[in-house]
Amino acid sequence: MTAPLPDPERLLEALAQTMKPAVGPDTGLVGIYTGGAWVAERLHRALGLATPLGLLAVTLHRDDFSRIGLHPEARRSQLPFSVEGRDIVLVDDVLHTGRTVRAALNELWDFGRPRRVRLAVLADRGGRELPFAADFAGATVDVEPGEELVLTNEGGRLRLAAVKRPQ
Amino acid sequence: MNAGLQIDAQGRLVHLLSTEGLPAEMIRHILDTAAQFVSVNEREVKKVPLLRGKSIFNVFFENSTRTRTTFEIAAKRLSADVINLAIGSSSTAKGETLLDTVWNLQAMDADMFVVRHAEAGAPHLIARHVKPGVHVVNAGDGRHAHPTQGLLDMYTIRHYKKDFSGLAVAIVGDVMHSRVARSQIHALKALGVPEVRVVGPKTLLPREVERLGVRVCHDVAEGLRDCDVVITLRLQNERMSGPLLPSAGEFNKTYGLTPEKLALAKPDAIVMHPGPINRGVEIDSGVADGAHSVIMPQVTFGIAVRMAVMAILAGHA
């Protein structure tokens, strides 16, 4: 039996605290759809960053396209600032295999060449399949190997849940 | 003729041969997917890796510069390898049959064929004979169909008019010889456009065209009045004089889209044309270059729509 899952509201506070000294007015915060966008919106407000929030859709760079095909994605990448030479913090909800981060980096590079990219996640659940680590993590969470850690948003109230992965 | 061939038992698109029989939900799926690619085409790097390692053969048995180019750009922006073949000038001239040509290309590990042919049904014949996992896109066959053109026209209409449910669409000119018009009519009807009018002289409208659910107007004023979308069709050079028409000038006077005739349509009507345009024949320069014209956006959207079709086809190889 694993420990109860942490409250995302708490994790957001902790994450904002750790990030505060490491970001500046020119830092571009970029949330990865869907969960990462929720987290990034909250962090952006908490950190009071001057640069507008960026959002990234990664479906066109996913590596499972040949297996699952393409699903129309209403959400588009929106980067309301120049990526070229900028200090970027990518934000996602849960860091797991690292494949989403890989896709996000490819997507980001289609807009320009940032000076530096760091990664902030609400929860790191381990299980990496690629050489990535978070620069900022709200918490490390233990989840059974067959489970997915998912972030839900009910009217602005964020919650973490562990769900059995569909076989 | 198309249903079983282009959609499989799981409802997935395996070939795109015609808009006829294409379910509305599949058309919407293609348009929604295209919307993603419109945004890709506006970026610094206009390329995504979805079709990396796939080989797409543009097999054109009939000349076309623009359609072939837009298919080529679309495939390249998806990172596919594109091979262009103008067959008119090669193998068939040496006596090779259509299927022998295709089988040879298949042996070179083709993943997709984009086919244009002067004979209606040629892409269907190819689709019936390729290996499973190889896809065929009809890029225009005889007078039959030009589905990607029909779909990009739907994309354009949706972009400007948002919703198909209250629209009146007039298709003006040589409907008889137009594969574009047929593809548009099937798609418009599938998407629930309540009023589709075909406007032209008796000699240039197919007999019994009403059976497709369109309203036939020989009078251009009746055809254009209060419509939301005016689609002008190209009058093929070879038809400008001959038994069907007195002259191009005569056609222009009666059916050519002039600012005066366009004034009969709704004030916010859009004007479309599949290209290439004959200025002063089916459309006046003042209209083609005017405020209502969306002819250039059609070309731009066409790339995204072709990307969507190819990505959907290749997504379940």
Gap between the Cα atoms of B76 and B284, Å rounded: 34
Of A70, A109, A112, nearest to B33 by CB-CB distance is A70
Banded pLDDT at B243 (limits 50, 70, 90)? confident
CA distance B140 to chain A (A): 25
- Cβ atoms of A125 and A108 closer than 8 Å: no
| Structure confidence at residue B229 (pLDDT) | 98
Mean pLDDT of B242-248: 80
pLDDT digits (tens, 9 = 90+) for B30-67: 999 999 899 888 888 899 999 999 999 999 998 888 89
In terms of CA atoms, which chain A residue is nearest residue B47?
A: A110
Among A65-74, B150-159, B287-296, the least confident range: A65-74
**pLDDT value for B305:** 98
Note the pLDDT of residue A166.
74
Residue of B nearest to A77 (CA): B39
Q: How far apart are CA B196 and CA B223, in angstroms?
A: 10
Which ranges constitute the DSSP H helices of chain B?
3-6, 24-40, 66-77, 98-107, 122-129, 147-161, 179-190, 220-224, 248-255, 259-262, 285-288, 295-314
* Coil/strand/helix, residue B110: coil
Chain A residues closer than 8 Å to B317 by CB = 66
A107 to chain B, minimum CA–CA distance in Å?
8
Q: Kindly tell me if the per-residue pLDDT of B72 is higher than 90.
A: yes
The pLDDT of residue A123 is 97
Tell me the nearest-neighbour CA distance from A16 into chain B, angstroms: 31
In the predicted model, what is the mean pLDDT of chain B?
Answer: 93
Give tens-digit pLDDT for B182-213. Answer: 999 999 999 999 999 999 999 999 999 999 99
CB contact under 8 A, B311 and A106: no
- At CB < 8 Å, which residues of chain A contact B? 57, 59-61, 65-66, 68-70, 72-74, 76-77, 106, 109-112
CB pairs under 8 A between A and B: 46
- Asked if the model's pLDDT at residue A76 lies above 90, the reply is no
pLDDT at residue number A2: 55
Confidence of residue B317 (pLDDT cuts 50, 70, 90): very low
> Which residues of chain B make contact with A70, given a CB cutoff of 8 A?
33, 50, 311-312, 315
CB pair distance less than 8 Å for B33 and A69: no
Enclosing H/E stretch for B114: strand B112-117
The pLDDT score that the predictor gives to residue A1 is 45
Of B45, B47, B315, which is closest to A65 when you measure between CB atoms? Answer: B315
Please name the residues in contact with B140: beta carbons below 8 A apart, sequence gap of 6 or more. Answer: B62, B64, B67, B116, B117, B146, B149, B179
Between residues A145 and A121, which one has the greater pLDDT?
A121
Centroid of chain to Cα B56: 19
Cα–Cα dist B190/B300, whole Å: 24
Mean pLDDT of B105-113: 95
Give A137's contacts (C-beta < 8 A, 6+ positions apart): A15, A95, A120, A121, A122, A123, A124
Write the ipTM: 0.70
Domains of chain B, residue spans: 3-146+299-314, 147-295
What pLDDT score does B244 carry? Answer: 80
Give the pairing of strands A147-154 and A157-164: antiparallel
CB contact under 8 A, B312 and A69: yes
Closest alpha carbon within chain B to A58: B48
**A3 within 8 A of A142, measured Cβ to Cβ:** yes
Mind listing the pLDDT tens digit for each residue in B138-165?
999 999 999 999 999 999 999 999 999 9
Tally the residues of chain B. Answer: 317
pLDDT tens-digit series, residues A88-120: 999 999 999 999 999 999 999 989 999 999 999
Which chain B residue has its CA at the smallest distance from A83's CA?
B44
Mean pLDDT for B127-143 is 96
Q: What are the structural domains, with CATH classification, of chain A?
A: 8-65+75-164 (3.40.50.2020)
Q: Which long-range contacts (CB under 8 A, 24 or more apart) does A41-47 make?
A: A42/A12, A42/A158, A43/A12, A43/A15, A43/A16, A43/A19, A43/A91, A43/A120, A46/A12, A46/A13, A46/A16, A47/A16, A47/A19, A47/A20, A47/A23
CATH 3.40.50.2000 fits B147-295, yes or no: no
Q: How far is CA B70 from the centre of its chain?
A: 12
Contact A72/B39, CB-based, under 8 Å?
Answer: no
Average pLDDT over residues A124-132: 95
In this prediction, residue B172 carries a pLDDT of 98
Sheet strand arrangement including B55-60: B81-86, B55-60, B112-117, B135-141
Fold of B3-146+299-314: Rossmann fold (3.40.50)
Smallest CA–CA distance from B53 into chain A, residue? A66
Indicate the pLDDT class of residue A59, thresholds 50, 70 and 90.
confident
| A63 compared with B61, residue with greater pLDDT | B61
Residue B52, both tokens = 């990396």
Task: Give the 3-state secondary structure of A60-73.
Answer: HHCCCHHHHCCCCC
The chain A residue lying nearest B42, using CA atoms, is: A111
Query: Is A9 a residue whose pLDDT tops 80?
Result: yes
Residue B134: strand pairing partners:
none
At B86 the pLDDT is 83
A76 closest CB neighbour out of B36, B50, B312: B36
pLDDT value at B82 more than 60: yes
Tokens representing A161 are: 């849940």
Using a CB-CB cut-off of 8 Å, the residues of chain A touching B316 are 69
Lowest-confidence segment of B43-47, B69-73, B299-303 by average pLDDT: B43-47
